[in-house]
Amino acid sequence: MARADPGKLEPDGVHSHRHSGFSLHELMGERLKPILTTDLIRQVAGSLSLFAGARLIMLFLRQRLQIRSKGQRPVPKVVLDVLSTVIYTLVAIVSLSLFLRDDLSGLLTGSGLVLAVLGFAIRNVVADIFSGLALSIEAPFRIADWIQIDTLGRGRVVEIGWRTSRLVTRDSTYIILPNSQISRQKITNFSAPREEYRDAIEMTLPAEISVSEARNLIKLALRGVRSLIADRKTDIHVLRYSPQGITYQVKYWVPRHDRETDCRNEVFIAIDRVLRERGIRIAMAPLSPLPEADANEAPVND
C-alpha cells in the first residue's frame, strides 16, 4: 500500500489557514502603504500651511508697523525681529507636534537642556539681546533721535539691533555700541519729547554799558538770526559781575540738535556785528600770570 505524502494528507483547513495568513499579511501591508502616505502628505501640507500663514501674518504686521503716519517715529527693528521669532517658534512647535505627537515632550526637554548650556556659553550675547529688547520696549530713544550716552558718544540713532545700536555723529562717524553698555549709562535725548530745545551762550560786556542797553542790543542782534525758532522767546539773564564787566547768559531755541552748532555760530556773528557797529568790545578774560621763578633757585649755567 503506497504511503501518502504528508503535505497532501494535511487537512484542508490547516493548509488553507497557512496560505490565508501569508496572504493577509501582504494584503494589510499593501493597504497600509496608501494610508501612511496619505497621513504624511497631510502632515506636510498642514506644516506648510502653518508657515505660509505665519509668513502672511508677519508681512501684515511689518506693513502696519513700518508705515507710520506723519510725526510718528518708526518701530525699532528689534521689535519686528522679536515678533517674527515668537510667531515662527510657535509654528515650528505646532508643526513638530503633527509629526512627533507623543514624542514632542521628550524633544522639548532635550532642547531645553541644550539651550541652557548654550545660554551660559553666550551669556554676554544674551545680555546684549535682552538689553536691546528692554531699550526697544522702554524707548528712551528711537530711530532718528539725537542722543548723548555718557562716556560712549553722541549722535543720531540709525538702528537699534539685537546686540548693538548704531549712531552717526555730526562728522558722519559711525559708532557701534553694545546694548548692555548703553543700558548702564546715562542717556540724554535731544529729540524727545520734541525736537526743538533751548541752547545758551555766555558773554561778558563792559560794565560801562547798562544792563538794559546790553539786553536791547542782544535782542536786536538775534532778530536777524533766521535759523532760530522765531515764535519762541529769547531770554537774557545777568549771571555775574566781575572786574572784566557784566556776564550775560543768552538762551534761545534751536529747531533740532543737528542745527545747534550752526545756530550758535550765527548768534555769535550777529551779536558781534551789532557790537562792532556801536564800537563796543567784548571783554576778555585776563590772562593768568606766569609762575614766578623761585628766588632761591640757582641759575643754570651753560
Chunked mean pLDDT (size 10), the chain, 302 residues: 48 46 48 60 77 81 66 63 77 72 60 62 70 80 90 89 88 90 90 89 91 93 88 90 91 91 93 90 60 49 46
Report d(CA 75, CA 20) in Å as an integer: 71
Residue 80 in grid coordinates: 519686528
Q: Please tell me whether residues 167 and 230 are part of one structural domain.
A: no
Give a yes or no: residue 110 inside a domain.
Answer: no
How many structural domains compose the chain? 2
Q: Please tell me whether residues 158 and 211 are part of one structural domain.
A: no
Q: Please tell me whether residues 182 and 250 are part of one structural domain.
A: no
Q: What is the CATH number of the domain that holds 240?
A: 3.30.70.100
| CB-neighbour burial class of residue 161 (10 A; exposed 0-12, middle 13-18, buried 19+) | middle
Q: Please tell me whether residues 209 and 185 are part of one structural domain.
A: no
Give a yes or no: residue 54 inside a domain.
Answer: no
Q: Which domain holds residue 265?
A: 197-277
Give a yes or no: residue 248 inside a domain.
Answer: yes
In whole angstroms, how far apart are CA 115 and each of 86, 101, 102, 118?
16, 22, 22, 5
Q: What is the CATH number of the domain that holds 183?
A: 2.30.30.60
Q: Please tell me whether residues 184 and 206 are part of one structural domain.
A: no
Q: Please, what is the angle between helix 77-100 and helix 123-138, to 10°?
A: 120
Which residue carries 517715529 as its cell? 73
User: 144 with 192: CB under 8 angstroms?
Assistant: no
Give a yes or no: residue 24 inside a domain.
Answer: no
Q: Please tell me whether residues 176 and 211 are part of one structural domain.
A: no
Q: Please tell me whether residues 245 and 207 are part of one structural domain.
A: yes
Question: Residue 14's pLDDT is what?
Answer: 44
Q: Cite the DSSP H helix spans in the chain.
A: 6-9, 12-66, 77-100, 104-121, 123-138, 179-182, 211-222, 260-277
Residue 291 in grid coordinates: 609762575
Question: Residue 27's pLDDT is what?
Answer: 44
Give a yes or no: residue 60 inside a domain.
Answer: no
Three-state SS at 249 = strand
Give a yes or no: residue 262 inside a domain.
Answer: yes
Q: Please tell me whether residues 183 and 241 are part of one structural domain.
A: no
Q: Which among 189, 215, 235 is the end of a domain?
A: 189
Give a yes or no: residue 157 inside a domain.
Answer: yes
> Dihedral of CA 30/31/35/41: which sign?
positive
Give a yes or no: residue 82 inside a domain.
Answer: no
